[in-house]
Every structure is written in C-alpha cells, then in structure tokens.
Structure 1
C-alpha cells in the first residue's frame, strides 16, 4: 500500500502567522484613521468604498494571491530544496554512499547540489578504498574462521558453542538436525539460531550443574575438565552431551561448548538386548523341562540379536556396488593380473562394510584362487534379497584345495588381522562351494545389505566458503544479557524478529492470513539461516485480486496447517526479541484478531520502518517499501512474498540504524517516542 501525507511545515506556519499579523496591524491602522475622520469625511469614504466594493475586494485578493505565489515560489525554489539536500546528504553519509541529490530549485541551489554530489563521489571512492583495505586486513582472519566453521560442519558430533550467558554463537549442521523435530512428530517448534538461548533447547538446571562441576574441576589440579549428561530434547530424541569450557588467556570462563550425540537408537538397542536376555532367562527357569534343541535355538536367536546389535555399532560404510565392483575389477587386473567378469551388473545395490578391509578380502580371494587353480580369469555374479547381498565366484577348469582356502582364512592381510576376523568385523560370511571335503569349486561371500544413501547423513570434504558461514558469529562472545529495561537498551544491541504477512485482503476483521515469513537480526547482522516461513490454510477462498498480488492460490494452502497451529510456532520463534516490520500496524492487527481463536498474545515491543522513515525523512512524501529501498540503495528480491518482504525490511532497518543514531535516536524508547509523533502513527486498522 502506498501512503502519502501532507507535512505541516514551519515555513508555512510562519507565512500564515505573518499574513495574520499584517492583516491585524492593517485593520488596527484603518480603525485609528477612521476614528480621526470628520462626519463628512466618513460619509465620503463610506460612499467610495460602497461604490467600489468589488474592485477593492478583487484588489485585496490579488495582493494576497500575489503574496502566496511569491511565498510558494520561495518555498519550492529555496526552502524545500535546502531541506531535501540536508536530509539526502545525511543519507549519503550514514547509509547509502551511492545516493545522489536530485533537486529542483534556483540556480544557486542546483549549484550547491552539484558541489555536494562531487563531494559524494569523492566520499564514495574513499569509502570503497577504506572498505577494501579493511577487507584485505581481515582476509586472513576470515580464512581462519571459515576454515574452523568448515571443519566444524563435518564433525561427527553436533557442536553448539555458547557465551557464558547461554547465548548461542556457533553451531554446526548436525546440531541443527538434532534439534529439528521429525516430520509429523507433533512436537512444538524449538529453534536453534545465533543469539538464541540454549536453555530453550536443553534444561537450564542440567547446564548449570555441568558448569558448577567444571568450575570445581578447574580449582582442582591435574583433573580433566568436562561434564557429561544425558537428556531428552523437544525434538523427541535422547542426546548425550559433553560440556567443555571456553577459557580466555587468564583461564576465566567466557563460554562453553556442548558436544552432542543422538543416543536414542543405542538405548533402544540396549533395551532389545535386555529383552532377549530376560526371555532366555525365563526359558531356563521354566517349570516344564525344555528340550536341548529348543534351548540351543533360543540361545542362537539371542546370540544373533546381540551380534547384530554389536556389529551395527561398528563404523561400517554403505558401499554402492556400481562403484565398488568396478574398483575391485581394476585392482585385480592391475595388482594380480587377474580378469574378473561381473555378471548381473548391480542396480543401486549396496553392502554394509569397511571399504579398505573388504577390498583386501576380495583381492586375497582372487590371489589365492589364481595361485591354487592356475587360472587368470574368474566370474563374479551378484544376488540379493531384502537383507543380504551374495557374491558367487566361479571359474572354468581345475578345482582349488580346501586346505588352501582354510589357510587363506587364517592369513593376515597387509597389516590387518586375519581374513576370517575381517569377515566377522564386517558381519560377513565366506562359504566354500565343494563337491567333497577336499575340492573347492566356487566361493560364496555374503554381506548385509546397506540402506539407500538418502537415509544416512551425507558428508563430504569441508568446503571453505569465501564469505562468512551463517552458523556462527564470534562477536557474540562479547554480548551480555542486559539486566536493564529493554526500552533503555541501545538499538544496536537488540535482537529483532523481522516479519511480514500475506493475506486474503485488507479487511482486518474479515480477511485471513495465508503466509507468515520472518528472519532475525542478531548483532546487527541478518541471520538468513534462522528464518520462519509458513503457508497457512485460511479455510476460505482466496480472492483473485489478492492472488494477483502475492501469487498464493487456495490449491497451494489447502493441505497446510491453519493459523491455530502456526501462530504458537511463530510466537516461539519471535520470543525475547523486538518485532519489526513495515506498516506493522496492519500485520499486528491481523494477528491480534486471532487471539480468541489461538489464545496467543504477542507482548513484544515493536518497531515500524514506515514510521522510522517518516521520522528521518519528513521531506519525502512516499514511504512505501519500494521508495524507501530505492533511497537507501536496497535491492528488493521476492516482493510480495512474506519472507522476501521481511528480508527487504531487515536490510532497510540496518540502513536506517546509523541515521537513527546520528539523529539522537539511540535506544528503543527513543525510537518508539519518535515514531508516535509521526502522521502515520495515527492510522488505525
């Protein structure tokens, strides 16, 4: 919505007061002259006035009109251009060095604007030079930080680093996945993000106990420092956490690290083993006699359960056969001069095994067979079922002795344990195919089938980004939780939730919210990865006029959650922050009318970039998102999408922040007080 307003200007107040004063003074003089006239003179003047009434009134209006034109020309050619130059010069200095003054006025005013623009060119070039020098000076530091962040992203543990107040300053992708609820889990949203409190994710009492234990360890010489605990989290998982302190040069604790592992599956496996042991114990102590066959079968079943669980915890890899078998084929040809023919090429089949040791097993088998049969060519076929993958090695010609196969199973492989031990380690089995006890005519190898790669966490080489990763901000080490009133907190130290809504229309009483998008500002930076975006089922039709603006159709939101489900999650996302938006009164009213339905009430302090722009640039009449963005040099992407508009609003606010400070608006209280004085603050929805 584009809004306009008429500014009450001091100049026109002065003009009005001046004309009123002149009229009063003129009337007073006429009154004095009239009192000193004789009776005859009064009658003559009255007759002249009566005969020329319209002429005199026309002359008066002509004089007033002429004065108005003179004042209007003076205002538009001198006063208004000067006001705009002052405002736009401040904009160049504070937020947008590429902005240039374009005013219409007298020749002297235009010359002054040209001189200011020349200085702006010099300022912009100087600013670019200084910025480049700063970037060059910080380049090595940024490389080190980005290297650390890249390595952190590939650690096998979830890592969360906090300052001493529990505010998150770093986390890796695995930590983010640990605290993300499973789809359809029914769990409420708990968000992991920079600047957020870790106590919303992990019970504060546990961390406090861990910190007390660490402090006691630090006071005890020759004691390892760290504290362990296991706790359930809102995502429905059970995690094991190790708390490690972050110390400065004077061994004072400035923060702590939480190293996290998901132990839910491990606990379930222990429970399965316990159930198997209980069942076997009940079988042993059964009142009726149990046959040896049943006892052995029960024991074998229990042993298999324990074996499967034991081997499932080993660091085995899911190996796709379409790459693994060609590698075996090439190595056999290169190292052993043996040709391997692969039959029934595998289609997306995988085995669960250790890559290096199983490669050595295959090569050892082919080497032994080549030595025992004097053959240089073997056939390898693949079979599979849901749980196992089988390999059958065969050849034409003489057989291989069983004694040679038995010796191969006991032989150590290139510094590894014996082939038999390697097979046990990989939960695999080797079966000689024999016609009698002395002759081997084929070899069978059986492995557990691996799960599709999509079910496992993908990992790769750490990628060092040229720009700062989104998952850390070391400057937050220096941020402390202020105990003072949030209204007295400087604007630069606040955390903001910048949000926008898309609706079915502009009537706050009858229309519905169909999309909420939000992003956070932490430590004067936009945390792009810490965003909120939800489509909402309005449970009504979406008018074509609204669809043409935001492009959201009813088909897109039909299966989405309703406002009753989305607002609680958004309230959690925005907790302990200042709400920020553009024309925020409309969005807040749309949310407020849902209080009776959802039971959700937002009591966060709120700022509006529409009002702040009107405070800082009163000479401009247009304060819609597009015009403010153009003045401040902000590129608009994703216009009329809730998240896109929220990001644009966040960028605009960061541009306005230094201008607010230079105008003496330093704290949240200052910004709210200034906003209430604008014309737009009187708009009601």
Structure 2
C-alpha cells in the first residue's frame, strides 16, 4: 500500500513537473522570446536615437539604464504570465514555497540584473564604442590626415588590432611620402613655370583682373588693387566685379566680345573691347579681352587697366562722386595674353544657393573677442578677424582683422584670456564702423565659424544701431564636427586641430584672426568627411547641422 501511494505520488509529481516544464517551455517560446525580440527591436531604435542626440558618456549610461529596465520588465512579465497560467493547486504550492523567501528572491533577481547590465556595459566599453570611434578615426586618416594615429582602447584583441593598424599606417605614410616625392619632382617644372607666370602677372605695370561670365573675380594682381584705389577692398577671388564697374559695363563688354567672336576676324588677338572709367577723379583705361574654352567659346573676360596721366577734376558741389562713364578713345591698352586655366571658370553656378556644392562656395570664416560672455547683458566686441575660403582653398592673403573700441571697459579677467587691454583699443574704430567694413568684406559669401551662435549674437545685437542685416547663410564647424565625429566627446578648436593635423598659425588661442584661420582650415578638412556621408551641398550641410545635438546652443 505504501509503495502504491509512493508510486502514485511520484506519478503525480512527475506529471506535475512535466506539465510545469511544458508550460514554461511554451511560455518561453510564446512570451519570453517575443519579449526579447521586441525588446531588441526597441533597443536598436532607442540606441540609434541616443546615438544622434546624446554624448557618448550619456548614451552609454542611457543604454545601461534601458537594459536594466528591459531586464526587469521581461522577468516580471514572464513570471507573472507563468504564475497566472499555473493551476490553482500549483499556484498555492508555489506561493507557500516562496513565502518568507522575499530577500532571497530579490537577491537572485538583482544578481541577474547586475550580470546582464554588467555584461552589456563590458561589451559597450570594450568593443562597441571603441569600434565606432575607430571607424571615425579611419575616416580622418583616409580623407584628411594620414599621420593621425588611432588611440589604443577597448579589449586586448581590439588593442592589438589598433596597434597593427597604426604600424600599417606608418608603413603607408612612408610609401606615400616616397610616391609623393616622385610626383613632386615631376610637378616641379610645371610649378616653377606657374609660379614664374604668377609672379610676372603680379609685377606687371598694368592692373589685371580676370572674371568669369558670372562677374566673379578669378585672378587679380597687386597693381589692380592699387589702380582701383578706394574700391580695392572689393577685389578678391570669387567676389562680384560689379563693385568695381557696373554690371551694365560688364555686360556691354561681354556682348561686344561675343559679337566680334561671331564676326570674321582673321586673328583672335584682334578681338578686344576698350572703354574708360572715371573713379575718384582719375581716368582708368580698360581693355577687355576674351578667355576661351576651345577655340571660339567665350568663358570669361580679362580686364587690363592702367591709369591715365591727367586726373579729372571733380565738381566742387559733390566731392565724393564716383562716376562711371564710357568715353570714346582711340588709345589702345596693349594686351598681355589670355589666361583661362582656372577652376572657377568651369563652375556653372546653380540658381539656388542651397543646391550649390560646398566646394564651389565662397565662405567668410570669422571669430571675435569680447569683453565677456553675455551679449544680451551688455558685453561688447573688442576685436574681429576673418579670412575667405573660396572653392575649398583658404585665402590667407585675403584677411580682415581689427581691434574695436567697446562702449565699456574691458575687465581684467577678459584681458587675461585674449590679451587685449583698454589702452590697446583706445584709438581703435568703433563697432559700427568695423561692422560696416566687415559687411562689405563678407558680402555674397556664406558666414562660418566655430560655435558661431556666440559671435552672431553680438552682430545681431548691433543690427538696430548699424542698420545692417547679417542674413547670410551660416555654417558652424562645431555642429559639423559633431555630425562627422559623433563618437568623439570633444569638439573644441584645439582637439579638432590635433585630429586633422593642422599646424596652429598663432602660438596661442583667443586671437580673433588666429582662431578664424584655424577654423577655416578645419572647415576645409570637414568637406571630404561630409561628402563621405552624402552631405555635399550647402542645404544638406545646414540640415545636418540642425540635427546636431549642439544645435540648441543659444546666447
């Protein structure tokens, strides 16, 4: 009898255990696995969202919190469903068995959570995040700085891989230097001839300005800036030539050259156009000759200028008049030849600025120094520096820099940062005068800077006083860096300069022109990295900047 009872009890227990195991297996397949699959999908979306919106350290913390929450929800949900689906007898037995074991259950529950969260953290810290950073570092080596080396980080396998890649990078640099030396030797003669030609043009006794058909300056020499006197600040690569002569005169010269090209001229050297310009009381003789694509297709105009010997007396009632008149003249200015091998001549400007490639734009990269960090609280500008970037080239010979006399004393704390004292700005021009000059310097360009929201706030605060509206398109290298280097925690100027291998033109930071030059070189280094991400046009760069986690900065 006892054996029968034992056998019956064993049979019941076995049946119960088999039932529980079957239910648990079914729940695992039907409930737990879908929970983890759903959790994986949600986690993937969540981590990608965090990747765009938070810093790396914040993202790691958020992922760990999310993993812990997902673990808790999954265990509680699976346990609850499993308990509800058990028969009442088993529920009572299970409840009685767990009665008084709350601390033990909590211990195992927390231990499991700690193991899961710790495992995720270990994976993030040793593999996922280092690999993401390594991908960004490899793009820097590929696109901008061959001498950049990937910092060793992550697990020991990953460190060995990085060490091997850095050794390979050293070998690649040596091979590249040898190849580059051969290329340099092959290009030496062409460079010598080009530099000689550029030197000859620069030293000509006549002023030479080459423009494309969109009135943009392609080339100019020192004599041209001297001849055009008060308007020399408008002469620069990529600038509109209509600040020197009117668009009507330019169009008339182009029309006349095209008419002669369509005629029967025995020699192309006979195709030219002559007119005089009166500027600041001085007669300027100007000869316009064509720049060709192929044999007879007009692609630009070379303006050769020289001053007449006799100045013109201006009317006494209007001494500041700057008249532009066409006068008949029989004297010809001797042609100095044709020059047409310039990238800007082949740039066909689209109608919309936002659709233009970044490499085909003109930028004014600027920086300011101030009395403090609160423009709305009365802080003022004390210096402004800028440099132009045209077609992906930093034009270090086209710079703007001046000290500014503020309307309040410069605090000692600010002087210790930028080195500008009250004595240095005592005789400096006012902010209103400086901003008028800067507005002309930056005309028809895209404004750029590092954390430019700070600098633009000072310019916007002065708009009611100056009457100038700085409604230019604006790019910020801080935002662009956060787009291409999402895994990096720092995006300040010094970090970017080291990352791109840029030599600092100034020995110290917080000099307006020095920071502007450094920012300009950083901007040019960002272009290929942006292109690698499919960000090619100005509109795409502005859209990417708006999605940056730093885009909400305001002053």
Shorter-chain TM-score bucket reads 0.7 to 0.9
Structure 1 match to 2:72:
23
Structure 1 match to 2:366:
499
Could you say what secondary structure the match of 1:553 adopts? coil
> In the TM superposition, what is the alpha-carbon distance from 1:240 to its structure 2 partner?
2.2
Write the distance in 2 (CA, Å) between the matches of 1:69 and 1:259: 74
Structure 1 match to 2:250:
207
Match of 2:199 among 150, 161, 175: 150
Could you say what secondary structure the match of 1:552 adopts? coil
> In the TM superposition, what is the alpha-carbon distance from 1:666 to its structure 2 partner?
1.1
> In the TM superposition, what is the alpha-carbon distance from 1:526 to its structure 2 partner?
0.9
Structure 2 match to 1:611:
479
Structure 2 match to 1:302:
none
**Is 2:526 the partner of 1:659?**
no
Could you say what secondary structure the match of 1:260 adopts? strand
Q: Aligned ranges for residues 244-259 of structure 1 at < 5 Å?
A: 244-259=289-304
Q: Is the 8 A contact 2:369 2:383 kept in 1?
A: yes
**Number of equivalences:** 471
Write the distance in 2 (CA, Å) between the matches of 1:512 and 1:120: 47
Q: Aligned ranges for residues 558-637 of structure 1 at < 5 Å?
A: 558-637=426-505
> In the TM superposition, what is the alpha-carbon distance from 1:77 to its structure 2 partner?
1.2
> In the TM superposition, what is the alpha-carbon distance from 1:10 to its structure 2 partner?
7.5
Instruction: Indicate how the Cα distance of structure 1 residues 259 and 83 shifts in structure 2: closer, same or farther if over 3 A, else same.
Output: same
Write the distance in 1 (CA, Å) between the matches of 2:146 and 2:210: 37
TM-score when scaled to structure 1? 0.64
After superposition, give the CA deviation of every residue in 1:230-250 in whole Å (9 maximum; x if it has no partner). Answer: 2234x6644221212233441
Q: Aligned ranges for residues 164-563 of structure 1 at < 5 Å?
A: 164-181=213-230, 190-218=233-261, 219-221=263-265, 224-233=270-279, 237-263=282-308, 265-268=310-313, 474-509=341-376, 510-563=378-431
Instruction: Indicate how the Cα distance of structure 1 residues 508 and 604 shifts in structure 2: closer, same or farther if over 3 A, else same.
Output: same
After superposition, give the CA deviation of every residue in 1:438-469 in whole Å (9 maximum; x if it has no partner). Answer: xxxxxxxxxxxxxxxxxxxxxxxxxxxxxxxx
Structure 1 match to 2:41:
none
Write the distance in 2 (CA, Å) between the matches of 1:549 and 1:9: 31
Could you say what secondary structure the match of 1:61 adopts? helix
Q: Is the 8 A contact 2:212 2:300 kept in 1?
A: yes
Q: Is the 8 A contact 1:579 1:604 kept in 2?
A: yes
Could you say what secondary structure the match of 2:259 adopts? helix
Instruction: Indicate how the Cα distance of structure 1 residues 163 and 133 shifts in structure 2: closer, same or farther if over 3 A, else same.
Output: farther
Instruction: Indicate how the Cα distance of structure 1 residues 535 and 236 shifts in structure 2: closer, same or farther if over 3 A, else same.
Output: farther
Write the distance in 2 (CA, Å) between the matches of 1:40 and 1:668: 69
Higher helix proportion (structure 1 or 2): 2
Instruction: Indicate how the Cα distance of structure 1 residues 210 and 251 shifts in structure 2: closer, same or farther if over 3 A, else same.
Output: same
Match of 1:117 among 148, 166, 177: 166
Could you say what secondary structure the match of 1:267 adopts? coil
Q: Is the 8 A contact 1:231 1:238 kept in 2?
A: yes
Instruction: Indicate how the Cα distance of structure 1 residues 179 and 545 shifts in structure 2: closer, same or farther if over 3 A, else same.
Output: farther
> In the TM superposition, what is the alpha-carbon distance from 1:582 to its structure 2 partner?
0.4
Of stretches 120-129 and 7-16 in structure 1, the one that deviates more from structure 2 is 7-16
After superposition, give the CA deviation of every residue in 1:282-304 in whole Å (9 maximum; x if it has no partner). Answer: xxxxxxxxxxxxxxxxxxxxxxx
Q: Is the 8 A contact 1:190 1:200 kept in 2?
A: no
Write the distance in 2 (CA, Å) between the matches of 1:62 and 1:264: 95
Q: Is the 8 A contact 1:5 1:621 kept in 2?
A: no
> In the TM superposition, what is the alpha-carbon distance from 1:477 to its structure 2 partner?
4.8
> In the TM superposition, what is the alpha-carbon distance from 1:83 to its structure 2 partner?
1.2
> In the TM superposition, what is the alpha-carbon distance from 1:144 to its structure 2 partner?
1.8
> In the TM superposition, what is the alpha-carbon distance from 1:682 to its structure 2 partner?
1.5
Structure 1 portions without partners, runs of 5+: 182-187, 272-471
Structure 2 portions without partners, runs of 5+: 1-52, 317-338
Structure 2 match to 1:362:
none
Structure 2 match to 1:400:
none
Instruction: Indicate how the Cα distance of structure 1 residues 222 and 157 shifts in structure 2: closer, same or farther if over 3 A, else same.
Output: same
Write the distance in 2 (CA, Å) between the matches of 1:58 and 1:121: 52
After superposition, give the CA deviation of every residue in 1:33-86 in whole Å (9 maximum; x if it has no partner). Answer: 54445486476356414xx44x54455334433433332222111112111111
Match of 1:648 among 499, 514, 518: 518
Structure 2 match to 1:672:
542
> In the TM superposition, what is the alpha-carbon distance from 1:581 to its structure 2 partner?
0.6
Could you say what secondary structure the match of 1:682 adopts? coil
Q: Is the 8 A contact 2:478 2:491 kept in 1?
A: yes
TM-score when scaled to structure 2? 0.78
Instruction: Indicate how the Cα distance of structure 1 residues 189 and 151 shifts in structure 2: closer, same or farther if over 3 A, else same.
Output: closer
Write the distance in 1 (CA, Å) between the matches of 2:65 and 2:303: 69
Could you say what secondary structure the match of 2:495 adopts? helix
Q: Is the 8 A contact 1:189 1:572 kept in 2?
A: no
Write the distance in 2 (CA, Å) between the matches of 1:137 and 1:267: 52
Could you say what secondary structure the match of 1:679 adopts? coil
Q: Is the 8 A contact 2:362 2:388 kept in 1?
A: yes
Write the distance in 2 (CA, Å) between the matches of 1:554 and 1:45: 82
Higher strand proportion (structure 1 or 2): 1
